[in-house]
Structure 1
Amino acid sequence: IAKLLATKPLRAELSTRPGPGGKKLTYLSGDSVTRTLNDIFGFDGWCLEVKETRKECCERDDKKRYCVSYTALVRVTHRASGAFKEDCGSGDSTDRSLATAVNHALKASVTDAMKRAARHFGDKLGNSLYESSFSIKKAPVDLKNALTMHDIERAKSKFGFEKDRKKPVNTSNTSSTSNLGPSSKNVNANASVNSYANVN
């Protein structure tokens, strides 16, 4: 499970939307996160608990539409280990119907909070989306590719094998220096003794 959570999300699991400056933002949808949690933990291996919801705003605009926003705090728990992650999210909606606006905003806030909480379990659930170097074009196409990419990245990281290898210490220069040290001291000592003898 730990290794699967450490892999990058597959290209088919990702979506894009327009972002600021004409850029495309990569994200995981709520149903994609739920599907991944079911795949890795099992359909009965995890649970979502809504700890708190709060209505932040409810106004009517000049077109007499209701503008509603909510925040939510949720907990995602892995049943087998008892490990859980918590985070908050927000959601907003605008509609002529107050009930519809509230329903959509509340649901969006819980979904956003769930995605934020789930990503603390690992890269597979969205943590990799916070890496500036990661994009949908660099996402693995299948699980085999994802596991291979994980092994390569781990080998290059500070926790992997390359950084753990210690370079052999070159003792040749050290030996030369250490051999010269005592000789130099002896020469200086003899010179001092001879000078003292000549003076006397």
Structure 2
Amino acid sequence: MEISQYSAEQIATLQAKLEKKLGPEYISTRPGPGGGPKLTYAEGWKIINLANEVFGFNGWSSSITNLTIDFIDVHGENPPRYNVGVHCITRITLRDGAYHEDIGYGTAENVKQKAAAIDKCKKEAVTDALKRTLRSFGNLLGNCLYDKTYTEQVKNIKLPPVRSSTLLLDVL
């Protein structure tokens, strides 16, 4: 019985890639809730790019298995303001059928338009769920960010400044 379409060598290569940790160029920080300690995270587009590099652009897929609006609170008058919360469950499936699922959450507070608040929450919840699901595959896709010792060390690594010439795209 064949367990995987991948050969033992391909699995070992993939595992070796996924065991590596994110470099400082992939890691961002932002203030914690209520002015608490800074939170360390990776932006969604960077993790998606890494997944494409590791698995190939056609080696993985994502699907939303659940997207639920948890609450819509209206407050104020002329105009009313909206607070919204949404959760999302996402599944990431590899070419060989292996998969992981996880949940993400999105919130919007004090938004003037109901539709805009819901839209923001859905996008945030999907991105959060996607990142949380991809981290299940290994350190390279974000799991290393849960290692506090590592995040403290990597925050101290100084990146060289980006020169404008490195930002040019090779279109042709």
Q: Which category of TM-score, normalised to the shorter sequence, fits these structures?
A: 0.7 to 0.9
2:70 — aligned with what?
56
Mapped contact 1:14–1:136 kept (Cα < 8 A)? no
**How many residues matched?**
141
State whether residues 5 and 124 of structure 1, in contact with CA within 8 Å, keep that contact through their aligned partners in structure 2: yes
RMSD (Å), alpha carbons: 2.0
Residue correspondence of structure 1 range 141-160 to structure 2 within 5 A? none
The residue that corresponds to 1:33 in the other structure is 47
The correspondence for 1:82, drawn from 89, 97, 108, is: 97
Structure 1 residue runs without a partner (length 5+) = 143-200
Matched, 1:105 2:105: no
Q: Kindly, what percent of the aligned residue pairs are identical?
A: 35
CA distance in 2, matches of 1:23, 1:8: 22
Q: Does 1:135 align with 2:148?
A: no
SS in 2 for 1:82: coil
* Equivalent-residue separation in structure 1 for 2:105 and 2:90 (angstroms): 11
Distance (whole Å) between structure 1 residues aligned to residue 103 and residue 42 of structure 2: 16
Cα deviation digits, residues 106-132 of structure 1 (max 9, x gap): 111111111111101001111111112
The answer to whether 1:8 aligns with 2:21 is: yes
> Offset at 1:57?
0.5
Q: In proportion to residue count, which structure has more helix?
A: 1
TM-score (norm 1): 0.65
Alpha-carbon offset, residue 138 of structure 1: 2.5
Q: Contact 1:10 / 1:141 at 8 angstroms: preserved in 2?
A: no
Structure 2 unaligned spans of 5+: 1-13, 160-172
Contact 2:86 2:122 in 1 (8 A): yes
Q: Residues 37 and 136 (structure 1 numbering): CA distance in 2 closer, same or farther, change over 3 Å?
A: farther
Counterpart residue type for residue 46 of structure 1? W
Q: What is aligned with 2:7?
A: none
Q: Distance in 2 between matches of 1:141 and 1:16?
A: 14
Higher CA-based Rg: 1
1 or 2, which has the higher strand percentage? 2
